Amino acid sequence: MKQPDGSFTMHDGGEVDIRGSYCALSVAALCGIMTDALRDGAAEWIIKCQTYEGGFGGEPNAEAHGGYAYCGVASLVILDRYRLADSELLLQWLANRQMRYEGGFQGRTNKLVDGCYSFWQAANFPLIEGEMAREGRLPAEGLFDARMLEEYILMSCQILFSFVRTETVKDGAGGFRDKPDKPRDLYHTCYVLSGLAIAQAYSISRESNGILGGSQNAVEAINPVFNLTTDSEQFAESFFAKLRQ
C-alpha cells in the first residue's frame, strides 16, 4: 500500500520494503492501471535504497542484495526513471557478484553462489543494457559471462541423477537446486530456469554463442521486467487492455 514517502508496504499494516514497490508497480504496469498517484515519489524512495556498494537494499541504509537490486532496477525501468540510479556503481557491484570459478552469482558480498541469483542478478543486465541502448551508449561487449552462467546452471544446479546426498529422490531426476549437495525445490527450479532463459538470450544476442548443449536445452524467452514468458506477458497486456475498453 502506498505511503506518503513514496514507498509501499507489503500489506495493510505491514513493513515497508522495496519488494512492495516492485510488486505494486509491476502489477499496475502489467494490468494497465498505473496512475500518477502510484508513481508519485516512488522512484525517489527506491533511489534511497541504493547503497555505497552500488546494489540496492530492502530499505534505505540496508545491505545491498541481489533480490532487492532486481526489484529496484525493474521498478525504475517500469517508471522510466532508471537514469536516477548510479549506473556505473551498480554495474560494478553486479559484475562482481558473478563468481569467477563457479560461474554463478552470489546474492551479497562475501556470500556463496546460489542458483536463484541466476535470475535475480543476471536479469538486471538486459534491463540496464536496454536503458543504455536507448541513450546510444550500449557497450561493445556483454557485461556478464552468460556462457559460464549456463554451465553453472546445467552442470551444478540441475538434478541429473536419482540420488542426492541430502535427499532420497523417489521420482527420479529433475528439478534445480541452489548448489551441489543441496536438495531441489520449486523456488530454485523457477528462478534457475528463469536465469537460464536470461543467459541463453544473452549468449545469442550479445556473445554470438549458440545455446549450450544445443536446441534441446532451449527454454522460452522471458521479459526480464516481469519474469514472464513473452507470450504470457503479451497475453496479459492484451487481456487487461480489453477489460478497460
- Cβ–Cβ under 8 Å, residues 103 and 151: yes
- Residues 82-99 as b or e (16 or more Cβ within 10 Å = b): beebebeebbebbeebbb
Element (DSSP H or E) covering residue 229: strand 228-229
Q: Pairing relation of β-strands 228-229 and 163-164?
A: unpaired
Active site residues: 65, 108, 111, 114, 116-117, 178, 185, 188
Backbone phi, then psi, for 62, in 5-degree steps?
-100, 165
**Residue with the three cell numbers 538434478:** 159
Read off the DSSP letter of residue 223. Answer: E
At 84 the three-state DSSP class reads helix
The cell for 27 is 502489477
CA dihedral 19, 134, 30, 45 (to 10 degrees): 30
